[in-house]
Structure 1
Amino acid sequence: MSLEWEQVIVDSADPVALGRWWAEALGWTVVNDAPDEYEIRPAPDRLPGLLFTTVPESKTVKNRLHLDFRPDDQEAEVARLLALGARHADVGDPEGNEFCVLGARRS
């Protein structure tokens, strides 16, 4: 038996807007742009992806799951993401979902 990681589901008020934001932030490809399900992947045939879906309620508490990213230049990447519309949560996307932009790996 094998198990393949297909995607992470992200609940959102506006899946298209949030999906576009993450596609721009990550440089990923849009593979489905339906109004109620917006999916992005690193490349059309690469997994896992992020699937943004519509939910009626707004975010009210801290995420139970969050993403960590390790850029080459943390300060520059945080500035770039903030310019795209991210907010300090420490860092959160436009709908307030927290994620981390980590510093350089220690040797």
Structure 2
Amino acid sequence: MALEWEQVVVDSADPVALGRWWASALGWVVVNDDADEFEIRPSADTLPGLVFLPVPERKQLKNRLHLDFRPDDQAAEVERLLALGARRADVGQGGAPWVVLADPEGNEFCVLGQRSDP
């Protein structure tokens, strides 16, 4: 049996707005702009994607699943994401070498530092 990772589903109060924010943050393309199922991907024919679905309730607690990103320049990427509307988040990371941010609806994600060679 083989599995292909199709997408990550993100519950959202405003799927279109949050999906467009993530498309800008990641430089991805919109492949479905329906308000009930807004989907973005790295390119139209590349998986996995992110699909944003509407839910009536707002996020209340720390995510049980989050995304990690490793940019070439952590400080520059953090500043770029903050300028797009992300905010800094504290999930108890202390002095960790990664930066925890939250998207406009409060979903946490990490911006990692430069990879250390083993």
- Counting only pairs closer than 5 Å after superposition, residues 21-60 of structure 1 correspond to structure 2 as 21-60=21-60
Matched to 1:29, the amino acid is V
Partner of 1:96: 106
SS of aligned partner of 1:81: helix
Matched to 1:103, the amino acid is G
Q: State how far apart, in whole Å, the 2-side matches of 1:5 and 1:43 are.
A: 15
Matched to 2:111, the amino acid is V
Compute the displacement of 1:36 (Å): 1.4
- Deviating runs (4+, > 4 A) in structure 1? none
Q: State how far apart, in whole Å, the 2-side matches of 1:102 and 1:68 are.
A: 7
How many residue pairs match? The answer is: 107
SS of aligned partner of 1:4: coil
RMSD between aligned residues: 0.6
Compute the displacement of 1:85 (Å): 0.2
Gaps of 5+ in 1: none
| TM-score in terms of structure 2 length | 0.89
SS of aligned partner of 2:88: coil
